[in-house]
Amino acid sequence: MCMVQEMYLDGWDNTTVTLTWALCLLLNNKQVLKRAQCELDAQVGKERQVEDSDINTLPYNQAIVKESMRLYPPGPIIERETTEDCDVGGFRIPAGTRLCINLWKLQRDPNVWPNDPQEFQPERFLNGHADIDMKGQHFELIPFGSGRRMCPGVSFSLQVMHLVLARIIHGFELRTPTDADIDMSTTLGMISWKATPLEVLLTPRFPSVFYM
């Protein structure tokens, strides 16, 4: 029971962090937010809220989640331990060595992401990187890790993030109290928390009956 509870709480932290960064990025890139809302209005309409079954029809909204997790993986560093001697990048690594993989660096590497890797561009996942997913098979984007030790809750986490973010974008206009750009500073630690609180003002886009 304790193990299940710990997995649930860890998963909730990671989901919260990702949603926070996604909202920050959207608020700093209003043209992306507008395009996402247009896609939702066209595919879902204005008479009902987004459902799980809609997610596969929303490629741009899916790209927003991918790009958010590329720039701000919830856990910026993952650890692995070698089970046998191996060579990595010309270095001899003996068995039993603990390795730290810097996802923050990997997922912003200009050799892997050549087009402005520091910039928020969901469109990159509609073009040259369209086939990349986040389930550990494409090593340029592994926010949940990879292999047998990857996050066991990856499918549930992605389902929640896609649905919650899509419902917020679809149902509300978003802005900050001052309309100023959001500070994107992070804390240091095992989870990439935002260094300062995020304040967002939500204005309903539809009549009140829509939210019932």
Return binding residues for heme: 151
Return binding residues: 151
- Which residues touch 129 (CB under 8 Å, ≥6 apart)? 113, 140, 141
Instruction: Supply 176's token pair.
Output: 């900050």
Contact 41, 60 (CB under 8 A): no
Mark out the alpha helices in the chain (DSSP H runs): 2-27, 30-43, 59-71, 103-106, 154-171
Residue with tokens 């856990």: 75
Query: Which has the closest alpha carbon to 51: 155, 154, 167?
Result: 167
User: How many Å apart are CA 22 and CA 209, to the nearest integer?
Assistant: 27
Query: Which has the closest alpha carbon to 19: 63, 69, 53?
Result: 69
Handedness of CA 144, 147, 149, 152 (dihedral sign): positive
User: How many Å apart are CA 112 and CA 92, to the nearest integer?
Assistant: 24
